[in-house]
Chains A and B, each alone.
Chain A
Amino acid sequence: MKVVNLIFSIALSSSLLVSPIALADLVLMDELELGNATGEGLGFALEDFVLSTDGASLNVTGIEDSSDNEIDINWTNLYVGGEVTEQERAAGVTKSVNVGSYLNPWVIQTVRGSMGDGENTPTYNETYSRVGSDVALLELATDSYSSNLQNSVTFAQYGYYESLGTGDASENIQTIMNDLNGDVADIQSRYNGVALFDELQDSITNSYFAPLNEGGIQPQELIVEGDQVDYDNAFAIEQPVYNDMAELYEIFEDTGWEANNNLLGAPRCSLGQVCNDSLLDNDIDNCNAACDTAREAYNEKVEEWEPLAEESFQTLSTLTASRQELQNRLNAKDSSGVTQYSYLERIADRDKFVELCGFGRDFTNCQSGLVNRKAGEKSSIDDIILSLNNGEVRRKGFDVGSTFEFTLNTTDQNGVVTTRDDFLDVKLKGLFIDGTSFRFWSRESDDLANPGAELNGELRLNLFARQISINACGDLCLVDPNVDGVFDPVKIANTTLNLDNFLISLNLGFGEIQPMKFSATSDGNFVFELTPPNPNAVGVDVNDTTAMQNFYDDYYANAPKSFVYVGDVNIGGNSIGSTTIDGFRAQYLRVQSRDL
């Protein structure tokens, strides 16, 4: 790290009163107390916290418009405080907020990775079990809760399922689980007698690689590929000749021929002129020269084209036939056994089973996958319902508000430049960010062209807000345009975008296998990259098929997914409905800034 041009100093002086009844003095800790403080990390909590920039002027600089003029951005207010109800907000009540607490603090700590440690060793910690035990991670984490009611992610899922159907959250998720279990039972009943997943997978592989004369799919695919190449080649030769022929026909047409009923099919060459059949053999003997030349050129080209078209047609027929044969094989069924279902049906069933039940080898039990994930969610939801029925409440969250004022240049159709004031007001009400953590560690780059240590990271971001309100109305919503600061609440309400029960649970990075990497390019732009899952990072031999299969099975089963739920999107009181993006995962992501 290079620090230049810094000179500042602070001198402190303090006075301490020491009295024999030193209830709150800074005192020396004795050995016993020191022994209990292992000091691996620092916990912190904020009590009665309020941040407000209302009394200050805060500007954002450096943002330019398309004419390279700087846009005036005035950050008129940033407010962080305690959650208030809508009635309190209308009455102007503000509260302070507690950020973390002694027993649930925000934490900055260094921890050792646990990958490779046995699960029973004292140093094993599942949270860090995807990072090597030879490095230390730096972790910044917000408060985390074991109670499902206080954990904002499980609480937000409860809210989501509450809104989803006609029953309560538990009943609604049970309906979904019943459907999923029904789908699993359907698949299992089709393959009655199959005990292991591998039996289904093997039958698919066997069908695919069977020899050509035994209905094999892959040999037929190769034939189709070959026929496709043949047709493409024939067409590539035919097409330019066809185009030339069409052009010559147009030239011929332009010379003015028309069908002549006196000579069978013989054309007139130009207006008023007749093509002569002096030999009376139904063929043109005599015509004006341009028409004749054009006609001959056209006819020659037709003769050149006809065999090429025939070749194209033949190769297309062969291709069509081989494609049809491939379709037949893909849909072929035997009378009994696993192969009574066609290749395509077995693939669909296999993929559905993996989605529902995960990669477990037991076909008769659904061990992981979507069914298992929903069961876990249901158990949290049941726990929450129990807590709520017991009279428990959630702790209070944050209220965050941020308003911006932009002064932009606008050019009207006459080229006159005036300024315009735009506004943006974002409020997050009842905001919780518990369960968020950033973890960083260092590894040598595996790019041989660019050796050196790199910063790797993992992000777990959980953000739940009871409501996010976005309004861009500004001066247009003033009660009196000449009087600043007094807004019409009805106009504001009608022009506000509200996102109710908003949850984003973003999980990027999966230990050594798929770390996040941060860097900057040499032309001054920042890069954020999530690499594809890397077997070399955990010592898997890329040539060993079984090990690679296990590597990917583990990744797909365990790498965390991300979610976005919005319970209700409404504009000015008109509800658009809910939005869900459930269970997505980035296998590769690269974000790079660019200088416009």
Chain B
Amino acid sequence: MIKNTLKTIALISVAVSSNAELVSMDESNLANISGQGGVYLSGEFSINKEGGPLWEDGTRPYYQLDGNGEPVVDNSISPDQCNNGVCGLRLAIKLNENSEGWYVIDDLSGGMSFEGLTLRTVNIKSAVDYDVWDDNTNDFQIVALDEEVLQIGLPGKVTFNDFKFKYAVANNGEFGVPLADGTAFKQTEIFGVELNGAITLQGNLLLFPVD
């Protein structure tokens, strides 16, 4: 089973009276507050940290096709052992309807946590136009705008806990299942990445529609 832990933190700004106690606010005071609208998120999620539902015992069997062309477990081939007895997620994508090959992200597992991802709309009042030079200010021209954009504040630090995946190419979408014409399943691992620890990810991501 996957354990999920959630942390949420709500930001509340409070009008502080002179004696700094928590007091209830009346309507007129509340009306003067321009709050930090938006969302502040912290989260932790993990993928298959303790294995997934398909390959629970940490092994991935190989199959053969029976008389009706249905896959059945092939006991003559020893199953694929997942690292540390924990099988990660497998994602396979075929780019062409007629090709036999699949691009695969395999053994994706691990945890990721972040704190301080913010989400809000911001009204852009001006933007720099790098294509036009303003001789008066001797800088790039500033264009006046009145546009709403979605601003996602990146969390600053994102911590990975045993996060890993492999990039591979395979000849079938399902692991271990041979092709309809009997060709054995084959997956070629190209490289894998393992990430552990905190990475710095700072900045603001603006999202907006374009024509």
Residues of A within 8 A of B (CB): 1-27, 29, 33, 37-63, 75, 96, 101-105, 107, 109, 145-147, 150, 387, 390-392, 395, 445, 447, 450-455, 517-527, 593, 595
Contact = CB atoms under 8 A, between A and B. Distances in A.
A395 B130 contact: yes
B127 A102 contact: yes
Given A41-B210, A60-B191, A46 B99 contact: no
B81 interface: no
A316 to B, nearest CB: 54
A24 B96 contact: no
A551 to B, nearest CB: 26
Nearest to B1: A7
A56 B147 contact: no
A452 B130 contact: no
Interface stretch (B16-24, B46-54, B61-69, B70-78): B46-54
B206 A150 contact: no
**Most A C-beta atoms less than 10 A away, residue of B12, B143, B194:** B194
B143 A5 contact: no
Contact of B43 (A12, A51, A522): A12
Interface in B94-126: 94-103, 120-124
Contacts, number: 306
B90 A522 contact: no
Contact of B195 (A25, A43, A56): A56
Nearest to A387: B133
B133 A18 contact: no
A61 B195 CA distance: 11
B209 A38 contact: yes
A7 B194 contact: no
Nearest to A44: B207
A451 B98 contact: yes
Contacts of A526: 101, 103, 169, 190
B122 A24 contact: yes
A24 B54 contact: no
Contact of B98 (A104, A395, A445): A445
A421 to B, nearest CB: 19
Given A19-B31, A47-B204, A7 B127 contact: no
Given A13-B8, A62-B190, A454-B97, 14 more contacts: A3-B91, A4-B89, A7-B2, A17-B36, A25-B37, A40-B210, A46-B203, A52-B199, A58-B196, A452-B99, A455-B95, A455-B96, A520-B99, A524-B168
Given A57-B197, A102-B147, A445 B37 contact: no
25 contacts: A1-B91, A2-B91, A5-B53, A5-B90, A8-B4, A10-B45, A13-B10, A14-B39, A17-B33, A21-B31, A24-B123, A27-B121, A53-B199, A54-B200, A56-B197, A58-B194, A103-B128, A104-B130, A445-B98, A450-B99, A453-B98, A454-B99, A518-B96, A526-B169, A526-B190
A108 to B, nearest CB: 9
A2 B94 CA distance: 9
Contact of B130 (A20, A26, A147): A147
A109 B131 contact: no
A38 B208 CA distance: 11
Contacts of A517: 96
